[in-house]
Structure 1
Amino acid sequence: MPLQGKLDALKLEFETNLAPPATVEALHRSTNELIASGAQNRALKVGDLAPEFTLPDPDGNPVSSKLLLDKGPLVVTFYRGVWCPYCNFDLSALEEARSEIESRGASLVAVSEQTAPNSRKSQRQNRLGFPILGDHGGEVAARFGVRWTLPHYLREVQKALGADLTKFNGEDSWTLPMPARYVIAQDGTIAYAEVNADYTRRPEPSAIFPVLDQLSRRQVA
């Protein structure tokens, strides 16, 4: 089943059989408000220069975007956290596509505000062969223009759902990245950008294959 089909089935089950109507209403409200704010339209786009970053992997080892770009293109996905089933489906789909991504000369990393122990848990549960880098407070997410602050009513909903971000992220900013996937060319320019204020919508990983192929042809030429 395609990734979006899995997410649609998850959403239907959650909203129909698992969540109270008031919770569903609050989640819809916050998503609609974020879309209406135009936040996703202000995120970095194709042709923009991607900010350089160095972030720790879950074991504390620094990972430099510059050093990864010295080897080839870089695929960056912004990940909300281990508590988000939509995000975990997304990571699993990227892991399934990782061999195709790496065969095209690219590296793959996820970036998340969650703490290192939670990232290690995410990597184990989703059997990832790529790292989840720690973006404490969402500073890198903000530089890409994908960080947003949860309204107070949504914070209470998150707590009720067992997703208290102060515990998962280890700080109290109550910020998250919008789901976002980028392909960065070796010269630092963004070759692909997909940002969606609706956390239940994700592109298929295969959407980046033609972009990586084009970058490879450009490098050869």
Structure 2
Amino acid sequence: MKSLIKRKSVALVAMILFTLCLVGRANAQEKTGNMNSFGMLDKMEMKQMSYVIPQKPEDISPLLYGEKIPLALLPDASGKSFDLNKAISEKPTILVFYRGGWCPYCSKQLSGLQQALPGLEKMGYQLIAISTDVSDGLMQEASKEKLSYTLLSDANLELSKKMGIAYKAPKGYWEMLPKTTGGKDVDLLLPVPSVFILDKMGTIQFEYINPDFKQRLSEDLLLAAASSIQKDL
């Protein structure tokens, strides 16, 4: 019980200190039908649903605490297909979504995550970061920042859309995104930078999502959250 209270307290602190956009999800659920007792939409309603891409990062509808992430096969930095869910089933995971290696705030975050990696691995976690960059871009970023953890490409943002963190990129990015995504980002989307802590079932135990891309979860808070949750994984 004490551990559960502590874990919820860590999540609450993160939500208070930073902006977690949940209003959009509540609105989306009102528009897409009734939930059954398990929190799932009826099959017929799911077929009728279509993903509506938010125009602003403040309007995203992210997956929430207690929900499972979807299945995904993504290219890694070498271009090989990586079974994300299989990897997650092997050990607890810190899953990070960032915009791309072209973003200085993302590069700084990736470097900070590398510094936090020994502490995370000591607690039994693996670290996986996902962006819109194609494999070549991932390789360049890993080399530039000397990263030793896994980088994956979600260039078409299919996973980001399923996670509920994709939104329409501002016009200033429209010329660049087709180049950095190898033409796969046909809808010109970006992910809201996000951090999820997952158990081996792929269930979200903690999340940090901030529509302001300049604000990232600090390494200290990530380590604190991971430490608190680790006791119950």
RMSD, aligned CA: 1.8
Q: How far 1:196 sits from its partner (Å)? A: 1.0
Could you tell me which amino acid in structure 2 is paired with residue 38 of structure 1?
D
Q: C-alpha deviations, 1:15-44, integer Å up to 9, x for none?
A: xxxxxxxxxxxxxxxxxx725x522xx111
Partner of 1:38: 59
Q: How far 1:179 sits from its partner (Å)? A: 0.5
Compute the TM-score of the two structures, normalised by the length of structure 2.
0.70
1:189 is the counterpart of 2:210? no
Compute the TM-score of the two structures, normalised by the length of structure 1.
0.74
The structure 1 residue matched to 2:85, chosen from 62, 66, 70, is: 66
CA distance in 2, matches of 1:52, 1:101: 24
Change in 2 beyond 3 A, CA 1:194/1:216: closer
Question: Which aligned pairs between 1:77-116 and structure 2 lie closer than 5 A?
Answer: 77-116=96-135
1:166 is the counterpart of 2:185? no
CA distance in 2, matches of 1:197, 1:53: 24
C-alpha contact (below 8 Å) 1:73/1:212 kept by paired residues: no
The structure 2 residue matched to 1:138, chosen from 151, 157, 163, is: 157
Q: Which runs of no fewer than 5 residues in structure 2 stay unpaired?
A: 1-54
Q: Which runs of no fewer than 5 residues in structure 1 stay unpaired?
A: 1-32
CA distance in 1, matches of 2:89, 2:214: 34
Q: How far 1:217 sits from its partner (Å)? A: 2.3
Q: How far 1:138 sits from its partner (Å)? A: 0.4
| SS of equivalent to 1:111 | strand
Q: C-alpha deviations, 1:118-138, integer Å up to 9, x for none?
A: 111111111101121011310
Could you tell me which amino acid in structure 2 is paired with residue 137 of structure 1?
N
Runs of 4+ in structure 1 off by over 6 angstroms are none
C-alpha contact (below 8 Å) 2:89/2:202 kept by paired residues: no
Partner of 2:216: 202
Size of the aligned set, in residue pairs, is: 177
Q: How far 1:168 sits from its partner (Å)? A: 0.7
Q: How far 1:89 sits from its partner (Å)? A: 0.5
C-alpha contact (below 8 Å) 2:137/2:180 kept by paired residues: yes
Q: Which has the higher helix share?
A: 1
CA distance in 1, matches of 2:74, 2:218: 26
Q: How far 1:174 sits from its partner (Å)? A: 1.1
Q: How far 1:54 sits from its partner (Å)? A: 2.1
Q: C-alpha deviations, 1:30-85, integer Å up to 9, x for none?
A: xxx725x522xx11121111223221211122222232223211111111111100
- Among the aligned pairs, what percent are the same residue? 24
